[in-house]
Homo-oligomer: A and B are copies of this chain.
Amino acid sequence: MNSFHFPLSRSDAEALDARDPLAHCRAAFALPEGITYLVGHSLGPATQGALLALQRAADEGWVRDRVSAWNSANWIGLAEQVGAKLARLIGAGERDVLVCDSVSVNLFKLAASAQPLAAARRLVVEEDEFPTDQYILEGLSSMTGVELVRAEAGKGVAELKGGVLVKSLVNYRTGEVADVAGDEAAAQAGGGLIVWDLSHATGVLDVRLKAWGARLAAGCTYKYLNGGPGAPAFVFVDEALAPELASPLPGWMGHAAAFDFKSTYQPKEGVARFAAGTPPILSLAALDGALEIFHGLNMADVQEKARRLSQMCLMLAEKAELKISCPLEADRRGGHISVRHCEGYAVVRAMADWGIEADFRAPDTIRFGLSPLFLSYAEVWDAMQELTEILETRSWDKACYREKAVVT
C-alpha cells in the first residue's frame, strides 16, 4: 500500500472531500448536525429513502390497501426484489440473493444444507469468530451429531478437511479481511464448503462473490447498508449449487406454490428456497428504501474511501499513542478500525460529550466505523483531534494504552 494516498493533514482531508465522488450521499442521511457518527458498522443511520419507504409501506400498504398490498405493493415478492438490489453490491447474480430472517438463522440454514454436500461430516469455526456464528454451529452440531471443530484464529481453512466452515469476511473485532478467493480454492480442493458471513463487509467493501468463487454467504443489512435496526438479513447461494441444497427450515414462503397450500414441499428455484416464514414487511420496506442510495454508486469508490478514511483515522490514533488492534494495512481491513484502551468505555463516553459517537466492545476495544457514504474526511480528522485532546487533557492511566505501531 505504499502508493496509497490518504490525508496526512486537515488540508489534505479537505482536498479529498472536494473531489469525493460520494460527497452527494451525505444529504440523503437523516443525521443531525454536529454529530460525527462512527458507529455505522454497528447500526447504520437512517436515510430519507428508508424513512419514506417505511412510511409508504405503512400508509399506502397497510392502512390503504391492507391485505391487498401483498399484491398491490408486491410485498409477496419484496424479499426477492430487495435481494436483487443487494446482489449488485456484493458481486452476485441478481437472482442469487434473498433477504430473509436474521444472520443467525441464515447461517444455520446454509451450514445445515451444505453439510450433506461436504466431503466430511465436520463443522469448523474459528475461535475468534463472531459469537453467534459459533453458537449456531454448536446448535447444528448438537442436532445432527456432526463434529464441531474450533480452529485457532486464521486456521479455519487449514482445519477444514472437507467439512463446512463458517467464516466472516471481515472480523467483527479486529476488522481483518479474509482472502475469499484463496480460501475458496483451498476449501474446494478438499471437498469443503465455506459459508461466508458478510455482516461487516457488505456496503463498505467491493465484495465480488462470484468472481472470488464464493458459493454460500449470509450477512446483515443494518450496518453499512443502513437498513434499519434489526433489518432482515440475506442469503447468497451460487446458482449452480442452489438446486442441490435443501433448507432445514422449509417454511411456506420458500414453497414453489405457497398459496396452493399443498402438504408436500416443493422448493422454489434458486436461493428463494431459503425463505421460511412471512417476512417482516415494515422492516423489509425500510431496507428497500435504504438501498436506493447505492443506486449508481461504484463499490470500488466506496471501498477506496473507507480505506482512506480508516488509514487516516489509524494514523491519528497512532499519534495519540493508542494501542492498535487491527491490521495496519488498509487492504487487510474492513470499514472499521479497532484500538484498545483499558478505560475504553470512559473514553467512548467522553467522546460522546463532544458529539463523536464510537463504540466499545468489552473488555477494552474501541471501534471506529468509517462509513464512506455519510462521513467526510475533514469531519473524521476533527473527531480524531478531539479524541487526542481528550486523551491528553484527562488523567487517564497512560500505561494502559500507549504502544508503538507503524501505520503506512
**A binding-site residues for B, Cβ under 8 Å:** 30, 32, 37, 39, 42-43, 45-46, 51, 54, 57-58, 61-64, 66-70, 75, 101-105, 108, 112, 127, 130-132, 134-136, 138-140, 142-144, 150, 173, 220, 222, 228-233, 246-253, 255, 258-263, 265, 276-284, 286, 357, 359, 361-362
Are B64 and A32 in touch, CB under 8 angstroms?
Answer: yes
Residues of B within 8 A of A252 (CB): 104, 130-132, 135
Are B361 and A261 in touch, CB under 8 angstroms?
Answer: yes
Report how far A276 CA is from B135 CA in the complex, Å: 10
Are A54 and B282 in touch, CB under 8 angstroms?
Answer: yes
7 A–B contacts from the bound complex (CB under 8 Å): A61-B229, A70-B229, A104-B276, A131-B262, A229-B278, A280-B280, A282-B283
Task: For the complex of A and B, list the 10 residue pairs with the smallest distance between their C-beta atoms, beginning with the closest.
Answer: A102-B277, A104-B251, A104-B277, A280-B283, A229-B281, A132-B252, A280-B280, A43-B67, A230-B278, A230-B281
Are A250 and B138 in touch, CB under 8 angstroms?
Answer: yes
Residues of B within 8 A of A63 (CB): 30, 45-46, 51
Report how far A101 CA is from B102 CA in the complex, Å: 8
Contact A102:B276 (CB < 8 A) given known A54-B54, A261-B362: yes
A144 (CB) vs chain B CBs: closest residue: B143
Q: Which of A57, A112, A281 has the most CB of B within 10 A?
A: A281
Residues of B within 8 A of A249 (CB): 104-105, 108, 136, 139
Chain copies in the assembled complex: 2
Are B101 and A277 in touch, CB under 8 angstroms?
Answer: yes
Are B143 and A248 in touch, CB under 8 angstroms?
Answer: yes
Report how far A39 CA is from B65 CA in the complex, Å: 12
Contact A246:B142 (CB < 8 A) given known A263-B131, A265-B135: yes
- Cβ distance A276 to chain B, nearest Cβ, rounded Å: 5
Residues of B within 8 A of A37 (CB): 66
The listed residue (B45, B68, B231, B277) touching A132 by CB distance below 8 A is B277
Contact A362:B46 (CB < 8 A) given known A102-B277, A143-B143: no
Are B112 and A143 in touch, CB under 8 angstroms?
Answer: yes
